[in-house]
Chains A and B, each alone.
Chain A
C-alpha cells in the first residue's frame, strides 16, 4: 500500500504528518517513508539511522564533437527544449545543460555521428535504516538543478517492493506533485483553515480528480483560522481524516526535530486508527 501525503500550499504540515504517521506505524508494521520533496528534503531531521544504500541519479546529456559537426542545425530543430544553441555562420554550437531533459532526440537527429551521450548527475537517492525493517528513503537534488522529477521517480522506485510506503510529496500541483501522487493508492491532503490553505486545497483536489485518485484531508492548526474548509469538505464529500489543533507544544517539538507522537501517545493512536480506516475503506482497490 502506498500513501502519499501532499498539499498545494507549502508549510501546512506535510512533513509533520508524514514523519509522525511513519513513527506511529513502524512500531507494528514494516514501513518505508520516502521523502519526495527533493528540493528541500527534511524527513531525516526527525530520525537517526544507518546509511545503507545511496546512489546517484544520472541523466544523459549530449556531448558534441565539433570536428564532426557540419552545423546543419538538425539537432537544434529536433530539440523540443531549446537546449541546443547554434550559430551556423560563426560555427558556434553549445549545449545548455540546464535546459536538457535527456530525451536523446538530438543524438537521433545527427546524421554525422557528432553527438554522443555523457552522464550528468542530478542528485542522490539514499536509504537510511531506522530499525531492521523500517527505513527512510531520501530524494535530494543537487543545488541548481531545474527539475526534481527524475530523482523523485528513482526514490519511489527504490521503495517499490516495500510493504507499506508513505510518500512525503513536494508542495504544489505541478510535475513533482503529479509524479509523486501518481504512484499512490490513496492521497492524504494536509491543509490549514485559512483562505490561502483552502484555495490551494481546492486546486489539489481538482488535480487529483483528473487523475482519478481518492483522497482524504487532515486539517492542521485548527482554531487558527475560519470554518470555510469544513463546509468545502462537506460539499465535496471528502472525508475529514483527522484534525490537529494549533498548539505551541506541537510547533515547538516540530521545530526541534522531535516527533510529537513520541511524547503524546493519544496522537499516535489517532494516526494508527486513521491508517486502519484508510486500509479498511480504500486498501482493497490497490490489490
Chain B
C-alpha cells in the first residue's frame, strides 16, 4: 500500500507526520519525494546502499569558434533565452528550457546541448526499513521525473524486501512534482493547518486530488492554534464529503524531537500527540 502525505501549503507538518507514521511501522519503505528540499534523511541518517545519477534536462551552449552571429537561434527561441550581448550571441542558462531547437536549426552547428547531471537519487536502510530520497540540483526542473524515479525504486525495494507499506513524503504546491507524487497511490493524506492560507491551499489541493480521482483524507495539524478556522475546515470537508482522519494539537515537542533526530513517536511515545498519530495509523493501515 502506498500512502502519500502532501499539503499544498508548505510547513504544515508533512515531514514530521510522515516520519511519525514511518516509525510506527515495523517494516516500511519511506520515500522522500520532496526532492527540492528533502529533509527526512536528517532524522533517519540512512546507511546509503546506492545512488543513481538523474539527468533532468539539458542546456544549450555556444561554440564561439563556429558561431557566425547570424541570429537565427534568437528568432526561433520561444523562451527569450538567446540575445545579443556586446554583439555576441549569448544564451541565458536560467531562461534556457533545454528544447534543443536552436541546436537543430543552427546553420553552422555551433550550439550543442549539455546534460544537467548534478541531481541524485539515493537509497539505503534505516531503523524501520528502507529509505529512498531524491536530491535535485539547484535550479533544476522536471522534478516530477525524479519523483517518479524515487517512487519506482521504493516499489522495487518494497517488493524485494517483502514490505507492504510505502510512505511517501511529498513536496508542497500542486504542480508537476506533486502530480507525480500522488498518481496511482492508494491514499493521499493532506496535512493542513487552521489558517486562511491553509484552507485556501487545501481547497486547491483537493481540486487536484479529485481531478485525479484519488482516495483522499485530511489531517488538521496544530488545530488548536485557531479553533474557528478549524471549524471552517471541518465544515468545508463535511460539505465536500472528505474524511478528516485526525486533528493534532500544537506541540513544541515536535521541534524538540527533530533537533534530536527522532520522530515524535520515538521521542515521546506515550504523549497525547503520539497516541493520536497511532490512532490515525491504525485507521489507515488496518481500517479501524
Does A274 make an interface contact (CB < 8 A)? no
A143 and B37 in contact, given A103-B97, A254-B195 (Cβ under 8 angstroms): no
B interface, size bucket: 35 or more
8 A Cβ contacts from A149-199 to B: 149, 170-176, 178-179, 182, 194-196, 199
Cβ of B201: which chain A residues have Cβ within 8 Å of it?
40, 42
| Contact call A196/B196, Cβ cutoff below 8 A | no
Cβ of A171: which chain B residues have Cβ within 8 Å of it?
10, 36-37, 172-173
Does A251 make an interface contact (CB < 8 A)? yes
Does A26 make an interface contact (CB < 8 A)? no
Per-residue contact bits, chain B 101-124, to A (CB 8 Å; 1 contact, 0 not): 100110000000000000000000
| Contact call B174/A146, Cβ cutoff below 8 A | no
Does A226 make an interface contact (CB < 8 A)? yes
> Could you say which of A8, A103, A210 contacts B79, with CB atoms under 8 Å apart?
A103
> Could you say which of A147, A224, A225 contacts B175, with CB atoms under 8 Å apart?
A147
Closest to A101 in B: B97
The minimal Cβ–Cβ distance linking A7 to chain B, given in whole angstroms, is 8
| Contact call B11/A255, Cβ cutoff below 8 A | no
Cβ of B79: which chain A residues have Cβ within 8 Å of it?
103
Cβ of B105: which chain A residues have Cβ within 8 Å of it?
108
Does B149 make an interface contact (CB < 8 A)? no
| Contact call B140/A174, Cβ cutoff below 8 A | yes
| Contact call B258/A143, Cβ cutoff below 8 A | no
| Contact call B194/A143, Cβ cutoff below 8 A | no
Cβ of B139: which chain A residues have Cβ within 8 Å of it?
173-175, 178, 207, 210-211
**B interface, by DSSP: helix, strand, loop or mixed?**
loop
Task: Give the complex CA separation of A252 and B204 in angstroms.
Answer: 23
Task: Give the complex CA separation of A211 and B94 in angstroms.
Answer: 9
| Contact call A9/B99, Cβ cutoff below 8 A | no
> Could you say which of A149, A176, A200 contacts B37, with CB atoms under 8 Å apart?
A200
| Contact call B138/A40, Cβ cutoff below 8 A | no
Knowing that A141-B175, A147-B141, A255-B194 are A-B contacts, what are 7 other residue pairs whose CB atoms are under 8 Å apart, sorted by A's residue number? A39-B173, A40-B174, A172-B37, A194-B255, A196-B39, A225-B259, A251-B225
CB within 8 Å of A: which residues of B? 7-12, 15, 36-37, 39, 42-43, 58, 76, 78-79, 94, 97-101, 104-105, 136, 138-141, 143-144, 171-176, 179, 193-198, 200-201, 204, 207-208, 211, 225-226, 229, 252, 255, 258-259, 261
CB within 8 Å of B: which residues of A? 8-12, 15, 39-40, 42, 45, 60, 78, 80-81, 101-105, 108, 141, 143-149, 170-176, 178-179, 182, 194-196, 199-200, 203, 206-207, 210-211, 224-226, 248, 251-252, 254-257
Q: Can you give 6 A-B contacts (C-beta < 8 A)? A: A80-B99, A103-B101, A147-B141, A175-B141, A199-B39, A254-B197
